[in-house]
Amino acid sequence: MPRTRVCDIESLITLSPNAVIFLFRFLVGACTLQVKGAEMLGNRVLWGISTYLAGLVILDRKRTATRIAGQFGFISHDQLWRLAKLFGDIGLAINQWWIHFLLCFDLAHGWFILDDVLIQKPYAKWIVGLYNQYDHTQNRHVMGIRLVVVLWTNGKVRVPVAFAIWHAKEFVSRYRTKNQIARLLIYKLIRQGIPLNESELVCDNWYASKANLRFFEYLRISVVTRLRKNAWVTLDCQRIQLKQLANLENISSYHYYRCLDAYVKSYLVEYPQVGAIRIAVVKHDRHAEPGRIKFLMATQLQLSNPQLVQHYRNRWIIELFFRDVKQHFGIADCQARESYQVIFHFRMVFLAALVIDLVTDRDSAKTPLTVEQMITNLRTLRVITVEGSPPTLVEIHADGKINPFNWNILINPVRTYLSANIDDHIPDTIYDINIAA
């Protein structure tokens, strides 16, 4: 008897692990709708950016251009570095498109944060910006790249607007300190039309130098920062150090704020070469930032104690941002040596973190997902194609279960965060996105 041919179901099913690339391609396209001049980008350029972003999110280690190109196959290693020449300028990394994208948000309901981060590269030798620097987290010197970053956030979306690499004095023709780089970044942003005087600038005591404060005052930028305990101020015509100011009155004269879980007392003082400021002495502070006694400063004299302390605590968002780009987006994985390649990698890491923020629903009644949870969910996405049926987006869980997934769920937060109407540009299925070169 002839043998009956059994249909092999596996031959009818195609399972693609590249679903995230299509998601990023849509999100990059949606972002470019907000950006003046971005329509000049070709489809191949957008697919190259999407592939790099997908590699940064999906790969769990060694997120290099070579491995990203080999993993997905949409674009070659050489094409990625040609993209880097287009976007990875070696000057101050102020992206014109990001500036226009930032202007889509209500800047009055957010704040700017100024800080720097050390990207450790202990085994590298020939990378631009790599120097032996002191790491305060480890209390020792390490090889790494120092970035000065200006970030805007409204507590939900984090937009790294500008950054620059700090260079050691003996390796550049014109040396700039981190404070000089910070002032230059702020000045360039204002020249590009960012109204920093409508928001607030928050920084730590490293960027609270008198030169910086006078510069920010000249630009009419409100500042909330932290001062060192040995700083001198004038209180009631008496010159006094802040550490002495903390000992003027005992803890019973301080006001305990339940919302802050700390004791606070503020003073109106004169800061030499700066002018009138408000100083808040914070004791028994249990916030994540170290220091049981903090001396906070605001150039806005009308701020209340809870407002001043909470505005400074908003600075902690940039510390969480630096942690995320190190742990989840591979900012230290770049093995390229040229300036434009290193700058391009940093740009893409920052953009990947921004895109993850855009697809994370933080307004939901449920507990919002963390960055790690969101990335884990994205890694489970697959595109499954059965012969004779349209492609379907599914989730594959660790126990082998395959559940259909409505990809519009990922798009809903984007509708909330972006001011322009993107509904006309949302495809019915993920495969309706134009993949043609």
Is 436's pLDDT higher than 50? no
CA 287 to chain centre: 21
pTM of the model: 0.88
Nearest one of 209, 236, 182 to 297, comparing CA atoms: 209
Dump pLDDT digits (tens) for 77-131: 888 888 887 776 544 444 556 666 666 677 778 899 999 999 999 888 888 889 9
- Average of per-residue pLDDT across 152-161: 88
| Sheet with 402-404, side-by-side order of all strands | 13-16, 381-386, 392-396, 402-404
CA 215 to chain centre: 25
Dump pLDDT digits (tens) for 344-361: 899 889 988 988 888 887
Dump pLDDT digits (tens) for 381-434: 887 777 777 777 778 877 777 787 776 777 777 766 665 555 555 555 554 444
Dump pLDDT digits (tens) for 312-334: 999 999 999 999 999 999 999 98
- Using CB atoms within 10 Å of the CB of residue 148, give its burial: 0 to 12 exposed, 13 to 18 middle, 19+ buried: buried
Q: What is the overall mean pLDDT for the chain?
A: 82
Is 63's pLDDT higher than 60? yes
